Chain A
């Protein structure tokens, strides 16, 4: 099945009370399929075909605050249009679950993959999970429900995968039993529900100098603490499915001297190159972040600190910043080590541009050169660009 099929199947099994969504390529197919499930009575969901993404997130916030398990989906421009509502969903502590098909932002308009959308929302207070392939997407979406709805966390979660590359290509996906998923996600527990008319609540009051900081501090603690819960849910999920997840995936890192850090589908290509180089006796590895918020800085530092040189590759620019999002996070995690690995930063694959084995190979060659020279001449570069 395609990545989008995997999403709609997961949504069918999660069987949310409310889904409010608006179509955008390459997310659309997942919601269309889900709408069919609604039309055929396979789910109990009230489906709200809203008039925009701003309204889909607004409706999701209302629905979640009313005590309903709520899901939505979007991509790119739609994500950008909802942006105002993202910190509101998080600040009101509504555990909405959102599927994002990663796609580049305009202009120029482009419908293919880039991590511009979710990286632009990384500080909106949501938990962020990234998925390499359809299987991971399916597994992550199911786990997201348990993570976001945990009583100590109560935060919205977005789970994404690469637009077209993963959303539209056909892969083998192992689905769980409907019953197993139903049991795993459990019932939604409403707190301070807007529909509990015997106990009226005011949600979303304005908080100025005197209280705003305390609200944010609590939010901050919740998202930091979610790390432990994410691992706990992963462990339980492993028991049910046999598939293990962590905060990130370490691929041949233990004895590695050189490594790449890559999010989502390109990590798959990179693993092949790692295998080829390993066959030649070169000690290379890969780290693939799964949870970007909360960012597991300490754990990533420990996984990478023994390396000679690291290349962090992002599928998004951060125009004029000191590096792309993953790079700045990883580099700041490594700061303060007595002996720091050398680090370089590449932008690749934006707008859906293919990333090939030889491109990844080039990055490794660069790492070898850097390590040999003992210094970095150019921290930041575009990969596969026509000059």
Chain B
């Protein structure tokens, strides 16, 4: 499945310009890549969130594929019905084409409110790809914390203050939760690794059953980084092992990218305004939130680093690749 930019540039785009996503939003890049990678026609079900409101405001649409939005927490349930209709009408000979189905949610619509619908749809075995574009907070409603928000991030519902260092708990491992459903294919990736992302979309759409992609999707409004740095930040997320690129194919874990040199977590934290308070003078104690300090909150930084290390080690064990290096060809960094 070699992907060449030259070939891709000839392909007609399905996600087109004219949408109202912020300049530098990771979601736009992500979905352009996803739809570029799809070979068969797709039907999409998109949950409420930034991607929805910015791309489908009546009477405009940025989507040149069949597309539906019905609510916030139910894009997996909506696609279940569409896929069931496809099975029924195909059986009756009323639909003859091969069609692929993609359900989409932000991290809020997936990790939190939509988790039940996602779990149900995965368990029932509908043939569809679920994409979580994960910008680590509820961005559309103004940067509130979600189950995907990292510990220490300042959001509008977990603001850093004199008695708080931001979100007090670690994010949940949604990819792990999805893996527990024993579906044929799932993976994590970022739009900075376009070849990796597109290869994964192809594998996911070819899977015989449900598939899932958790895609770290930069949002400079919420992360408070420079607009131009969005994609680079996604790369740093993988280089610090904060967001490992891996896949689980029929239960087999595989790392797709091992950084040549694992960067410290501070490289991920520092460019982002949502972590600014961690480095400010008088950074709060990680344990108590008390403010009797004179430098950065080293305690919290250590905690975050230790968590990344622990999760990375756990993942390495699951991948059990020994000395075998991942196939960098496909990563395309």
Contact = CB atoms under 8 A, between A and B. Distances in A.
Nearest to A187: B94
Interface stretch (A57-65, A272-280, A327-335): A57-65
Interface string B96-121: 01010000000000000000110111
B88 A44 contact: yes
Interface string B30-52: 00000000000101010000001
Contact of B69 (A54, A193, A204): A204
A321 interface: no
Contact of B120 (A51, A64, A70, A204): A51
A109 interface: no
Contacts of B78: 58-59, 61-62
A92 B70 contact: yes
A203 B69 contact: yes
Contacts of B89: 17, 66-68, 195
Contact of B80 (A50, A92, A205, A207): A50
Contacts of B73: 54
Given A17-B85, A50-B120, A51-B117, A58 B69 contact: no
Interface in A160-216: 193-197, 200-208, 211
Interface stretch (B53-61, B226-234, B271-279, B318-326): B53-61
A48 interface: yes
Contact of A194 (B52, B53, B82): B82
Contact of A18 (B63, B67, B81): B81
Contacts of A59: 77-78, 80-81, 84
Interface in A32-82: 44-46, 48-52, 54-56, 58-68, 70
B59 A211 contact: yes
Contacts of B43: 66, 194-195, 197
Given A55-B74, A203-B67, A68 B85 contact: yes
Interface string B141-158: 000000000000000000
B86 interface: yes
Nearest to A51: B120
B68 interface: yes
A207 B95 CA distance: 31
B57 A51 contact: no
A56 to B, nearest CB: 8
Nearest to B59: A211
A85 B70 contact: yes
Contacts of B117: 51-52, 54-55, 58
A48 B80 contact: yes
Contacts, number: 168
Contacts of A206: 52-53, 56-58, 69
Contacts of B77: 50, 54-56, 58-59, 62
B88 A62 contact: no
A283 to B, nearest CB: 52
A363 interface: no
B247 to A, nearest CB: 26
Interface residues of B, number: 47
B216 interface: no
A46 B61 contact: no
A84 interface: yes
A46 B45 contact: no
A202 B63 contact: yes
Given A54-B117, A85-B71, A88-B71, A65 B64 contact: no
Contacts of B121: 55
A272 B129 CA distance: 59
Interface residues of A, number: 45
B56 A58 contact: no
A107 B119 CA distance: 29
B11 interface: no
Contacts of A197: 41, 43, 65-66, 97, 99
A260 interface: no
B116 A194 contact: no
Nearest to B43: A194
A89 to B, nearest CB: 8
B252 interface: no
A77 to B, nearest CB: 16
B110 to A, nearest CB: 15
A217 to B, nearest CB: 14
Contacts of B82: 62-63, 65-66, 194-195
A40 to B, nearest CB: 16
B120 to A, nearest CB: 3
Contacts of A202: 56, 61, 63, 67-68
A54 B72 CA distance: 11
Contacts of B85: 17-18, 46, 62-64, 66-68, 70, 194-195
A46 B84 contact: yes
B124 interface: yes
A194 B68 contact: yes
A48 B116 contact: no
B87 interface: yes
Contacts of A45: 88
A283 B230 CA distance: 80
18 contacts: A17-B88, A17-B89, A17-B92, A18-B85, A20-B80, A52-B120, A55-B121, A62-B70, A66-B89, A68-B89, A70-B81, A85-B70, A88-B71, A197-B65, A202-B68, A205-B59, A205-B60, A207-B58
Interface of A: 17-18, 20, 44-46, 48-52, 54-56, 58-68, 70, 84-85, 88, 92, 193-197, 200-208, 211
Interface of B: 41, 43, 45, 52-53, 56-61, 63-71, 73-74, 77-82, 84-89, 91-92, 94-95, 97, 99, 116-117, 119-121, 123-124
5 A-B pairs with the lowest CB-CB distances in the bound complex, closest first = A51-B120, A62-B81, A59-B81, A63-B81, A55-B77
Given A50-B77, A61-B70, A70-B85, 13 more contacts: A56-B77, A58-B81, A59-B78, A61-B68, A61-B81, A63-B84, A65-B82, A85-B70, A197-B41, A197-B65, A202-B63, A202-B67, A207-B57
